Amino acid sequence: MDYSMIESLCIESGTVFERGAPLKQYCSMKIGGACDILVKPNSEAVLSELLSLCKSEGIPFFVLGRGTNVLFSDNGFRGAILFIGQEMGGITVEQNKIIAGAGAALNAVCKTALENSLSGAENLYGIPGSVGGALFMNAGAFGSEMKDITVSCRYINENGELLEMPAEDMELSYRHSFFSEREYVITSVTMRFSSGDKNAIRARMDEVMQRRKDKQPLEFPSCGSTFKRPKNGFAAALIEECGLKGFRIGGAQVSEKHSGFVINCGDATYSDITQIVEHIKKTVLKEKGVELDCEMIMVDS
């Protein structure tokens, strides 16, 4: 494929790009071969142009945030990775609202809220994704979700237009949003908070983080919870009841600390992860009659 037009746009706009970027460096599972080209757009306008170029030139593309819920193939990606990172990660505070670029870390938003004595995001502290990715999947933890604080977002639609959407139109539900099924790209999110006591906010954030450290295998590469929560139950409990805690294929393992996590023990391949995921799904369906739905986005091109 010809990437000359993308490279020209990047040079003209001061946008960083890299040929043959190793994708394992851009995702939390630490797995993935090289992509043809990785671009780090530095504005909504540049991102819109890049999306239009990819579509007009027939170049496959994938929009990537912090990569905490994405599993890339060892073969890499034949196309363009549009990496929404710190170049589009600015954070501003306006009274009880925080406006964050899609590339901002969700943890950075939580810390900004703390600094300004704003309450509402404490339970989300420790979720490793970006703001855009968190809204895309309506990320949540400990009874809170992105929908609880989101007011609106800016996004680019399939025609390259920059638009704004209120939260009530986002179809936010468990690990799902309006954006989950469309090639729309979130560029920034506006969130509303309530005034709170800084010490109380900090205490809750510390408590949430300690619970994560105590219960989750944070010392290993993973995509967090591998499966969505099934109706009337928990994936981790079902997996453990099926005797799969510690089950291993190659370098992939069902965590011995938390059965809901499939971890990379250090040398796992894409095939190892996908095989263990399929084995878990088949076993749980056979023994418990429950069909688990994987949270990870698997990219193999």
Which amino acids are annotated catalytic?
175, 225, 295
- Those residues whose C-beta lies under 8 Å from the C-beta of residue 274, and which sit 6 or more positions away, are 71, 298
Cβ atoms of 295 and 69 closer than 8 Å: yes
How many whole angstroms separate alpha carbon 74 and alpha carbon 86?
26
Residue with tokens 């969700």: 106
The phi, psi pair for 8, rounded to 5°, reads -65, -45
How many whole angstroms separate alpha carbon 183 and alpha carbon 284?
32
Residue of 301, 276, 283 whose CA lies nearest to 226: 276
The phi, psi pair for 274, rounded to 5°, reads -65, -35
How many whole angstroms separate alpha carbon 249 and alpha carbon 246?
10
